[in-house]
Structure 1
Amino acid sequence: MENSNQIKYKKIYSDLIKKKFPEKANLLKSYLHKKELSQLDVIEINQKIFGKSQEEYSKTNQKLKAYNPEHIYQILEFQKTHQLNNTELAEHFNMSRNTVAAWKRKYLV
């Protein structure tokens, strides 16, 4: 049974792309064909839709980001797979290096 409180990112982004960014539909087709979008997918879609010009927007909303342990493990696995250091990973996901270091201490010890 699906949790009714869960955010339906796929529906939100499908509607957003249809109405405001139809030219980016082909670029994001692989994400929209997934059954569910992970938090990493949402971050990547957001970057592809809005690009780096949204830095001010993301800095303002940086405090609002929250990650559950499953997504933290995915991010740390991404770091290992792509052989990134903490700084590179933090830049990729637009977060603090200190956050990455704290996650590694907490979840990888």
Structure 2
Amino acid sequence: MDKQVQTINTGPNYKRIYHDFIESKCPDKREYVKKYLSKDTMSLSDVLKINNIIFLDGLSESQKFKSYDKQAIFEMLDYQKEHQLNNSQLAKHFKLSRNTVTKWKRMFLV
């Protein structure tokens, strides 16, 4: 009898997402992100740095690939408090929509 192993979904697997994306869409940037993808766990700053490396051209199309888990959202909202930023400033800093920041605050801080 085979035992089934249950895995707990702890959020997006950024290492796998970025690895697959780089292999299929932009293999020329593999060397630039290798040090981030070799880490055991990726922090929010690692994810944002990889985003900047991959989507440096600033196309609005790249926005559709962004995904954040609760931990990343809370880190951004904590960053806002620490640096006393309003929603517009936070959105500009992390390249988000102001509406997204407002939605997160409604969802998690109410």
Fold equivalence (TM over 0.5): yes
AA at the equivalent of 1:81? E
Contact 1:79 1:85 (C-alpha < 8 Å) held by counterparts: yes
Deviations 1:11-42 (A, max 9, x none): 5546738x4225525xx63x334312245532
8 Å CA contact 1:24–1:49 kept in 2: the answer is no
RMSD: 3.4
Q: Is the 8 A contact 2:15 2:42 kept in 1?
A: yes
- CA separation of 1:8 and 1:108: change in aligned 2, threshold 3 A: closer
- Given the two structures, how large is their TM-score scaled by the length of structure 2? 0.60
Q: Does 1:54 align with 2:62?
A: no
Total equivalences in the alignment: 101
User: 1:78 deviation in Å?
Assistant: 2.0
Q: Which runs of 5+ in 1 are unaligned?
A: none
CA positional deviation for 1:93: 2.3
Q: Distance in 2 between matches of 1:12 and 1:35?
A: 14
Q: 1:91 to 1:74 in 2, by over 3 A?
A: same
- How far is 1:75 from its partner? 1.3
1:24 matched to 2:32: yes
| Structure label with greater radius of gyration | 2
Partner of 1:21, secondary structure, is helix
Q: For structure 2, which runs of at least 5 residues remain unmatched after alignment?
A: 1-5
How far, CA to CA, are the matches of 2:59 and 2:74 in structure 1? 25
Once residues 61 and 92 of structure 2 are traced to their aligned partners in structure 1, the CA distance between those partners, rounded to angstroms, is: 15
Q: 2-side partners of 1:72 and 1:10: how far apart?
A: 18
Q: Equivalent residues in 2 for 1:1-109 (5 A)?
A: 2-3=7-8, 8-11=13-16, 13=18, 16=22, 19-21=27-29, 24=32, 29=35, 31-38=36-43, 41-51=46-56, 53-59=57-63, 61=64, 65-109=66-110
Secondary structure at the counterpart of residue 95 of structure 2: coil
